[in-house]
Amino acid sequence: MPWYLIIIIFILNILWGIGFFYFLLLIVFHPRKKPKLFGKEIPIVGVLIFFRNKLAKILAEKYETYIERFPGGAVNVKKEEFIRTTYEMIQKWTEEQASLLKLPHFIQKPVLSFVQVVTDHLLKELFRNFIPNLAERYEIKEKIFELISDKNIKFIEDKAKYHLTKPLVIIGASFGLLFGLLNLILLIIF
């Protein structure tokens, strides 16, 4: 086998490795437009952009469900259900504690009652007042949606390209070199 063919094999394998990892960067960040194939969107191109809208929808739904207050003091049914189920889980957990079961009945009952009352008031105060006040004070909703806005996605893209391109190209080149060596060994053997 001529020596120049061996060098060409090495170079082609290194280029394939570099191209593969650079392609991974392109899959995550580009293009912003979703390409269509047979009328259906292809989700593998621009993964970060494609799933940003789904993430925004999920975050908005969870924020409205568990954090945001309804105007006029209306009751948020999902939040109240969450408080109730959490309360029941804590109540069940405290009733199952071995150290509590070893206590005499006349002490065990007041302790359980105290834990249940404190848990109930704590959960209601936490989810009805404290967390919504904190979210309003620090403008959490605006900051979350600002984070996944186009401007910040572009910033994340730029930082990822700057910090990930060189290491991924080096990893791709090393994989390509490894495969080049394996190809060379297979060519020598066969």
How is 78-143 classified by DSSP, letter by letter?
Answer: HHHHHHHHHHHHHHHHHHT-HHHHTS-HHHHHHHHHHHHHHHHHHHHHIIIIIHHHHHHHTTHHHH
Q: Range of 181's domain?
A: 3-189
Please report the pLDDT score of residue 34 as a whole number. 62
Tens-place pLDDT, residues 69-106: 777 777 788 888 988 999 999 989 988 887 888 888 88
Please report the pLDDT score of residue 89 as a whole number. 92
Tens-place pLDDT, residues 21-41: 777 777 766 655 666 777 777
Tens-place pLDDT, residues 134-174: 888 888 888 877 777 767 767 777 777 777 777 877 888 88
pTM: 0.53
3-state SS, 47-70, equals: HHHHHHHHHHHHHHHHHHHHCCCC
What is the rounded average pLDDT of the residues 114-123?
91
- Residue 126: name the closest of 164, 170, 82, 163 by CA: 82
Number of folded domains that form the chain: 1
- Is pLDDT above 70 for 49? no
